[in-house]
């Protein structure tokens, strides 16, 4: 048991925390990436009044939407409503958000000089709104379920900072990866320092678990994944070990590099839906809890088909501890609320017999 | 040796054909997916005068661009210039091509009734322009290098037919996958019959190898890949075995399902750049030749960095036969011609010592 104090303390529903440490639970805990999101009418009601950036920068609004899925969907953990791009912004990059287009950086990083001009991040200063939201969430949650904090992983943040926005082939960061790797390492080192101080500030503010999102890991090649993604994620995770909260590493598309993931030093490895979770357990289960891995588009199907997929994944993982049920990526805005509810209910009911 | 007649016949450069059957070669053969493409000024010169659809429907134009990379880049095989969407079009779907937006189907398939109305394909009739282009290519190539024919795989074609165009999350076909799998199987069966007769017509017209492109395989989940993609690809490949030309299956994103790929019944398995080709060889190399797998964006780097990556992949594959060098996906339009040339030259020079 890694953190007896935390587990003994007053979190009423500690299924998620126990499963992260592969401790026995009566059923498999469940939450959904992007569960505070547009599929919820209650979220859309807030969003209709405020833009996305205002929402995550206003602790009261961030707290309101963070808590929505706890009661409406019945998930076993809350995850702070925020955005991974707060770090590049705190490092000095202008972030804009156009309706219908998502966030972008109008002046992406293209030179090593730009990298050298990036600011050191003092999270309690430039990112105080995140810490304020964490404190308010903890207060409002009143220990019903644990609160998960998160950050983008260095490789994923570097991808956004260099590309400026989403991309089809990621030509710009790939040029750095293949041609100017020393500049890329310079950038990744700076981001790593920022993420580390950001994670520590979140922990001081009260998060009870921490997830590192490496959403663009899957665009890399095998040695590139080790050198540019895993290497920096691991630095952060290793340094946070002594903080005694569960650490989750989610490298989307990274299931093909199971050997490398062995070395990530998290407590939990997140899996997208392309991975067979039974195979992953046989390779990683001795050291890691696994989080995942329903295809988010499966929630577009009917509740009975959703239940069938839930059973398939529970069955693939098999009996015993160390599984946190989740989607393999964020819940889609098009998912009907009753489908999300049916998903969570199916996990709660069907998982009993595996414990 | 599978086809002694073909290998004995007059193809002057038979490195590619021999490597497909894992026979000894003096060096590793190399070609590039989408090698007849926009990175070539000579291609752009033709393209500036004709739209994309006119180009592949006019045998003289298709032949002209098919042959361009043979002399300009020095690749060891030609691949017919065509498009995978000729099959849905021959099945009765209207295909439009908007400049800068790529091809799309304005009336995508959304009901089983639409599936039932799809036409049976008679390739020598509705797709005669492809067979004419193959015959003309063979004539113009004059057996300098072999000619590869291709088709989209059923799952990938179904994805385009249901989505209508590219997609972020593939919600529409995923609804079929999770909710209406019997309709999806109906569609996949019809496409499979069409692809099979199309492949046989291409073989009669003179192609010397055949590649099945499953470009959207990677969006599936593990059992979904077997049921909806591999299952149909295998039907086609199994049926074509007796035709005695090398068969290549390229499931982009499929490297994570190595166990399933074992069963594909091709001669060659194509690998994208996320796969460690050395690991793939240890798992698949006893039965399959492997084709790949340089990251296409690596060609944006300088010739010396390209050579370093070529050496890394040759080294990962190791000594001996059964490797066809290629990119892990199509060459990008932004690649300078001299970089493509440097890539091919590096493979030719550096691979000598592995044979």
CB of A12 within 8 Å of a chain B CB? The answer is no
Cβ atoms within 10 Å, residue B8: 10
What's the pLDDT score for residue B148? Answer: 98
CB of A243 within 8 Å of a chain B CB? The answer is no
Which residues of A are catalytically annotated? 34, 38, 47, 83, 160
- Cβ B221–A274 below 8 Å, yes or no? yes
CB of A152 within 8 Å of a chain B CB? The answer is no
Instruction: Report d(CA A290, CA A270) in Å as an integer.
Output: 6
What are the E-state strand segments in B92-171? 96-98, 102-104, 147-152
CATH at A266: 3.20.20.210
Structure tokens at A86: 């707060």
CB of B256 within 8 Å of a chain A CB? The answer is yes
Does pTM top 0.90 for this prediction?
A: yes
CB of A295 within 8 Å of a chain B CB? The answer is yes
Query: Would the CA dihedral through B157, B158, B159, B160 be positive or negative?
Result: positive
Q: Is residue B298 part of a domain?
A: no
CB burial of B244-270 (b: ≥16 within 10 Å; e: otherwise) equals: ebbbbbbbbbbbbbbebbeebbbbbbb
CB burial of B208-220 (b: ≥16 within 10 Å; e: otherwise) equals: bbbbbbbbbbbbb
Distance from CA of A42 to the nearest CA of B (A): 23
CB of A256 within 8 Å of a chain B CB? The answer is yes
From the list A177, A179, A297, which residue is nearest B178 (CB)? Answer: A297
From the list A222, A224, A255, which residue is nearest B256 (CB)? Answer: A255
Give the list of residues 6+ apart from residue A229 with CB closer than 8 angstroms, or none: A153, A154, A155, A156, A214, A217, A220, A251, A254
The three-state secondary structure class of B274 is coil
CB burial of A107-116 (b: ≥16 within 10 Å; e: otherwise) equals: ebbeeeebbe
Element (H, E) at A154: helix A154-163
DSSP of B64-102, one letter per residue?
HHHHHHHHHT--S-EE----TTHHHHHTT---EEETTTE
Residue to mutate among A169, A277, A314, with most B CBs inside 10 A, is A169
Known active-site residue B226: no
**Over 50: is that where the pLDDT of A213 sits?**
yes
Do B191 and B158 meet the contact criterion of CB atoms below 8 Å apart?
Answer: yes
Find the mean pLDDT for residues A5-31: 88
CB of B169 within 8 Å of a chain A CB? The answer is yes
Cβ atoms within 10 Å, residue B105: 19
- Contact residues, chain A, for B33 at CB < 8 Å: none
- Cβ B332–A273 below 8 Å, yes or no? no
Element (H, E) at A290: strand A289-294
Find the mean pLDDT for residues A20-32: 98
Q: CA-CA distances (angstroms) from residue A205 to A91, A283, B214, B254?
A: 21, 35, 48, 42
- Residue written as tokens 């599929």? A39
Known active-site residue B34: yes
Find the mean pLDDT for residues A314-320: 97
How many domains does chain A divide into?
1
Q: Is residue B202 part of a domain?
A: yes
- Cβ A222–B297 below 8 Å, yes or no? no
- Please state whether beta strands B147-152 and B78-79 pair in parallel, antiparallel, or not at all (unpaired): parallel
Known active-site residue B232: no
**Residues recorded for chain A:** 355
**Over 70: is that where the pLDDT of A3 sits?**
no
pLDDT along chain B (355 residues), means of 10: 51 97 98 97 97 95 98 98 97 90 92 98 97 98 98 98 92 97 98 98 98 98 98 98 97 97 96 98 96 98 98 98 98 98 98 97
CB of B222 within 8 Å of a chain A CB? The answer is yes
Do A75 and A344 meet the contact criterion of CB atoms below 8 Å apart?
Answer: yes
Cβ atoms within 10 Å, residue B100: 4
Q: Is residue B85 part of a domain?
A: yes
Give the list of residues 6+ apart from residue A310 with CB closer than 8 angstroms, or none: A294, A325, A343, A346, A347, A350
Q: Is residue B135 part of a domain?
A: yes
- Contact residues, chain A, for B332 at CB < 8 Å: 169, 171
Do A310 and A343 meet the contact criterion of CB atoms below 8 Å apart?
Answer: yes
Instruction: Report d(CA A149, CA A245) in Å as an integer.
Output: 11
From the list A171, A179, A302, which residue is nearest B334 (CB)? Answer: A171
Known active-site residue B110: no
- Contact residues, chain A, for B218 at CB < 8 Å: 274
B152 beta partners = B213
Structure tokens at A81: 């409503």
From the list A169, A179, A302, which residue is nearest B301 (CB)? Answer: A179
- Cβ A171–B302 below 8 Å, yes or no? no
- Contact residues, chain B, for A305 at CB < 8 Å: 178-179
Query: Would the CA dihedral through B185, B190, B193, B195 be positive or negative?
Result: negative
Structure tokens at B77: 């095989």
**Residues recorded for chain B:** 355
Do A153 and A230 meet the contact criterion of CB atoms below 8 Å apart?
Answer: no
Give the list of residues 6+ apart from residue B349 with CB closer than 8 angstroms, or none: none
What's the pLDDT score for residue A1? Answer: 42
Smallest CA-to-CA distance from B280 within A277, A102, A257 is with A257
CB of B174 within 8 Å of a chain A CB? The answer is yes
Confidence at A6, pLDDT banded by 50, 70, 90: low
Instruction: Please report the residues numbered 178 through 197 in chain B whose beta carbons come closer than 8 angstroms to any beta carbon of chain A.
Output: 178-179
Distance from CA of B53 to the nearest CA of A (A): 23
Do B90 and B197 meet the contact criterion of CB atoms below 8 Å apart?
Answer: no
Q: Is residue B130 part of a domain?
A: yes
Smallest CA-to-CA distance from B6 within B207, B199, B149, B267 is with B207
Dihedral, CA atoms, B189, B195, B200, B201, nearest 10 degrees? 130
Range of the domain at A325: 4-354
Residue to mutate among A162, A178, A182, with most B CBs inside 10 A, is A178
Instruction: Report d(CA A85, CA A215) in Å as an integer.
Output: 12
Distance from CA of A329 to the nearest CA of B (A): 10
The three-state secondary structure class of A220 is coil
CA atoms within 13 A on the CB side of B11: 23
Do A95 and A108 meet the contact criterion of CB atoms below 8 Å apart?
Answer: no
What's the pLDDT score for residue B100? Answer: 77
A97 beta partners = A103
């Amino acid at each position: 048991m890694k953190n007896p104090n935390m587990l003994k303390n007053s979190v009423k529903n500690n299924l998620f925390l126990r499963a992260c440490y592969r401790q026995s639970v009566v059923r498999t805990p469940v939450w959904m990436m992007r569960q505070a999101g547009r599929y919820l009418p209650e979220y859309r009601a807030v969003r209709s009044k405020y833009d996305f950036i205002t929402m995550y920068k206003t602790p009261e609004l961030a707290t309101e939407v963070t808590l929505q899925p706890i009661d409406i969907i019945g998930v076993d953990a809350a995850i702070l409503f925020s955005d991974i791009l707060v770090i590049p912004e705190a490092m000095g990059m202008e972030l804009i958000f156009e309706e219908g287009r998502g966030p972008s950086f109008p002046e992406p990083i293209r030179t090593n000089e730009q990298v050298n001009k990036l600011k050191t991040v003092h999270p309690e200063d430039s990112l105080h709104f995140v810490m304020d939201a964490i404190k308010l969430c903890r207060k409002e949650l009143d220990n019903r379920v644990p609160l998960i904090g998160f950050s983008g992983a260095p490789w994923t943040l570097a991808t956004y900072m260099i590309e400026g926005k989403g991309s089809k082939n990621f030509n710009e960061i790939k040029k750095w990866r293949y041609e100017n790797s020393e500049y890329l390492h310079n950038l990744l080192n700076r981001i790593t320092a920022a993420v580390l101080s950001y994670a520590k500030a979140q922990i001081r503010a009260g998060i009870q678990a921490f997830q590192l999102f490496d959403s663009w890991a899957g665009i890399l090649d095998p040695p590139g994944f080790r050198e540019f993604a895993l290497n920096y994620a691991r630095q952060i995770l290793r340094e946070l070990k002594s903080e005694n909260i569960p650490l989750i590493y989610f490298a989307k598309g990274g299931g093909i590099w199971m050997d490398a993931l062995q070395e990530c030093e998290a407590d939990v490895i997140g899996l997208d839906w392309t991975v067979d979770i039974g195979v992953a357990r046989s390779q990683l289960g001795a050291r890691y809890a696994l989080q995942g891995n329903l295809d988010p588009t499966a929630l577009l199907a009917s509740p009975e088909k959703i239940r069938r997929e839930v059973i398939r994944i529970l069955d693939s993982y098999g009996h015993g501890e160390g599984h946190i049920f989740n989607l393999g990526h964020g819940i889609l805005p098009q998912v009907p609320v009753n489908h999300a509810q049916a998903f969570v209910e199916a996990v709660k009911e069907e998982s009993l017999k595996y414990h």
